[in-house]
Amino acid sequence: MIEIEVRGRRNGRSDDDLPTVLVRLSEERTTAGELIRRAVEEQIRELRADAARCRRILDRQYLSDDEIRAQAATGAIRPPRRMTAGPDVAEEVARAQRAFARGTFVVFVGGRQVVGLDQEITLLIGEPVVFLRLVALTGG
């Protein structure tokens, strides 16, 4: 059993980021897709107590630029459905994996960028894992 710390970050921001979570794996070799699945499950577990905050944080990290633009055109960026019991874990995992595949966020393991969902990675205890949300710079 190995426990890996996964941090979620956005460029230039640290307020209301995804919570840092411990992901438990049976071995140190896995795929990026499986690491994302396990991390999102843990992020949701950490955030479940406050459904509105959970939705806001997940959207900031995994909502695509196209989804943001489409919602902004309607006048407001809102969750896709009213949350009462919290997010659907399988739906959020799929959304995060699509966001990774589209380049909405990148994954770094030990300072090396992971490039595909099926990429096999070896995780080492103490090695940083970061999910970095990419945000276009304004004014430049």
Residue 105 DSSP SS3: strand
| All structural domains of the chain with their residue ranges | 2-133
Residue 121 has a pLDDT of 95
CB 57 within 8 A of CB 87: no
Residue with tokens 């894992």: 129
> In angstroms, how far is CA 123 from the centroid of its own chain?
18
> Who has greater pLDDT, 67 or 122?
122
Quickly state the pLDDT bin for 137 (edges 50, 70, 90): low
Token reading at 30:
């896995």
The highest-confidence range among 42-46, 47-51, 80-84, 97-101, by mean pLDDT, is 97-101
Residues with Cβ within 8 Å of 14's Cβ and at least 6 positions away in sequence, in order, are none
Residue 120 has a pLDDT of 95
pLDDT tens track for 31-77: 999 999 999 999 888 877 777 777 777 777 777 667 767 777 777 65
Specify the range with the lowest mean pLDDT, choosing from 16-30, 37-51, 64-78, 110-124: 64-78
Rounded to an integer, the average pLDDT of 6-23 is: 75
Residues with Cβ within 8 Å of 11's Cβ and at least 6 positions away in sequence, in order, are 132, 133, 134, 135, 137
Residue 41 has a pLDDT of 94
Residue 83 has a pLDDT of 47
